[in-house]
Amino acid sequence: MSRVSRDDIAAALANVIDEESGNDVMSTGLVQGLVVREGHVGFSLEVDPAKGAEKEPLRAACEAAAKNVPGVLSVTAVLTAHRAAGQSPSPARGHSHSHQAQAHPGERAPQGAMKIPGVKAIVAIASGKGGVGKSTVAVNLALALAKLGRRVGLLDADIYGPSIPRMMGLTGKPESKDGKKLLPKVKYGIKTMSIGYLVNEDTPMIWRGPMVQSALTQMMSDVEWGELDVLIIDMPPGTGDAQLTMAQRVPLTGAVVVSTPQEIALIDARKGFAMFEKTHIPVFGIVENMAYFVSPGSGEKSYIFGQGGARRMAEKLGCDFLGEIPLHMSIREKSDSGEPIAATAPESDEARPFIEIARRIGEHLDRALGGGARKAPAIAIED
C-alpha cells in the first residue's frame, strides 16, 4: 500500500477552489494544521465566522478531495472561524438610546440582578474568538456534569451562531404552559434554552446585537428552569461589549475559557481571562480544545500546534489548566449530528477528557458554593 504523505494531501487540496476568492484552499491559507498519520488525515478550514454555514460545502469538498487520495483511510476536516482583530462581535453601534445596560469595566452584576430562583450556580463557557469549539465544549461539559449526577441546564447565548439546537438535535419553538414562562427543551437529561429556538435563523446579524439583552433576560428569567445545580451558559465568542455586558448582568459563579493551542488563539483567550478578571468573576480554568490529533487507526497522538501552550498560559495567569481535548472525527461528527459524545458514548476515549474536566469544574463549584459567599482572593495580608 502506498504511504500517503502530507504533500499528497496538500496537492489534492490545491485543486479545491474557494468560490469566494476564486483561489484554491491551500494558496489562500484556508487550510490550517494539516496532519497526516498512517493514512488518517486531519485539518481545519479557517473561515470568516459570519460565513460558517455557507462554507460547509467547501469543507465537504475538501474532505472528499482528501479522501480520494489513494491510501487515505479517514479524513477529519473541521470549520473554524477567525475573527479579525478589532472586529468584536459587539452590538451594533447607534443603539445606545435603547434600554440596553451599558458596560463599564470594573463593575459586575449587582447581586441578585438577574438571579434565577432554584438555580444554584451559573458557569459561563467563553472564548476569545469564534471557532475554537466553545459550543462543542459547552454541550459536552453540560452533559458530562449531568453524568456526574448534577442537575444541569444549558443556555445558548451565542447570538452570532447559536449551535446548541443542532448539537443537541433540537428544533422548534419552546412551549409554554401559561403563555408567560417558556419551558426548556429537555434532552439527554439536561434542560436547554437557545436563542436559536427564539430568533429566526434568517434574522440578519445586525439585528442580533440589539436583541441580545432582551433575549438574554428572556432566556434567563422567563424560562422555567426549575431546580438546577448548575446552569452552563454558552457565551458569544469574543471579548467585546456584548460579552462584557453579559458577564456583568449575569451573576456568574465562575467562567471557563476555551482555547485552541495556536498562539493567536491563546492571545485571544488571555483577553477572555482579562475580561472576567475585570468583572471580578472567578475563572475556574482554561480548556485546551483540539489540543492534539488522534489517529483513528493506532490512537497515536500528534500535537499539531505544539504541546502545552494553554497549560503554560494558565500557569502564567495563575488559574487552573482544566484539561485538553483531542481533535477527533467522532467529536465533530457526533456534535454536528445532534448526538454529542458525552451523552451517546460517555465511556469512549474521546468523551473521557470531558468527564475529567467536568469533575474539576464540579470541584470548583463545590468550593465556590460550599464557602458560602464568593471567596475572597487567596492573598494573605499580614498586619
State the residues that interact with ligand ADP by CB under 6 A.
78-81, 127, 130-136, 163, 237, 289-290, 325-328, 331-332, 335-336
User: What are the φ/ψ torsions at residue 304 (nearest 5 degrees)?
Assistant: -60, -40
Alpha-carbon 2 to chain mean position: 38
CB of 48 to ligand ADP, least distance (A): 12
CA 311/CA 349 separation, integer angstroms: 21
**In this complex, which beta carbon is closest to ligand ADP, that of residue 191 or of residue 328?**
328
CA 321/CA 92 separation, integer angstroms: 34
CB of 292 to ligand ADP, least distance (A): 10
The x, y and z cell numbers of residue 226, run together, are 426549575
Q: Which residue is nearest to ligand ADP (CB)?
A: 133
**In this complex, which beta carbon is closest to ligand ADP, that of residue 261 or of residue 326?**
326
**CB within 8 Å of 261: residues ≥ 6 apart:** 288, 290, 291, 303, 304, 305, 306, 307, 309, 310
**In this complex, which beta carbon is closest to ligand ADP, that of residue 81 or of residue 116?**
81
With H, G, I as helix, E, B as strand and everything else as coil, classify residue 29.
Answer: coil
Best CA proximity match to 161, nearest among 21, 293, 55: 55
User: What are the φ/ψ torsions at residue 81 (nearest 5 degrees)?
Assistant: -120, 125
The edge-to-edge listing of strands for the beta sheet with 185-187 is 185-187, 190-194, 152-156, 230-234, 122-127, 254-259, 283-288, 321-324
What is the DSSP pairing of strand 23-24 with strand 17-18? antiparallel
CB of 123 to ligand ADP, least distance (A): 16
**In this complex, which beta carbon is closest to ligand ADP, that of residue 290 or of residue 357?**
290
Residue 34 DSSP one-character state: E
CB of 329 to ligand ADP, least distance (A): 7
CB of 312 to ligand ADP, least distance (A): 20
**CB within 8 Å of 158: residues ≥ 6 apart:** 134, 135, 164, 195, 234, 235, 236, 237
The x, y and z cell numbers of residue 62, run together, are 475538501
Q: What is the DSSP string of 84-140?
A: -TT---PPPTT-TTSSPPPP-TT--PPTTTT--TTB--EEEEEESSTTSSHHHHHHH
- State the distance between the two ends of the chain, measured CA to CA, in whole angstroms: 74
**In this complex, which beta carbon is closest to ligand ADP, that of residue 146 or of residue 157?**
157
CB of 253 to ligand ADP, least distance (A): 21
**In this complex, which beta carbon is closest to ligand ADP, that of residue 89 or of residue 251?**
89
**In this complex, which beta carbon is closest to ligand ADP, that of residue 164 or of residue 219?**
164
CB of 265 to ligand ADP, least distance (A): 10
CB of 1 to ligand ADP, least distance (A): 26
**In this complex, which beta carbon is closest to ligand ADP, that of residue 13 or of residue 81?**
81
What is the DSSP pairing of strand 185-187 with strand 190-194? antiparallel
CB of 179 to ligand ADP, least distance (A): 33
**In this complex, which beta carbon is closest to ligand ADP, that of residue 101 or of residue 215?**
215
**In this complex, which beta carbon is closest to ligand ADP, that of residue 182 or of residue 247?**
247
CB of 218 to ligand ADP, least distance (A): 22
CA 116/CA 73 separation, integer angstroms: 49
What is the DSSP pairing of strand 293-294 with strand 283-288? unpaired
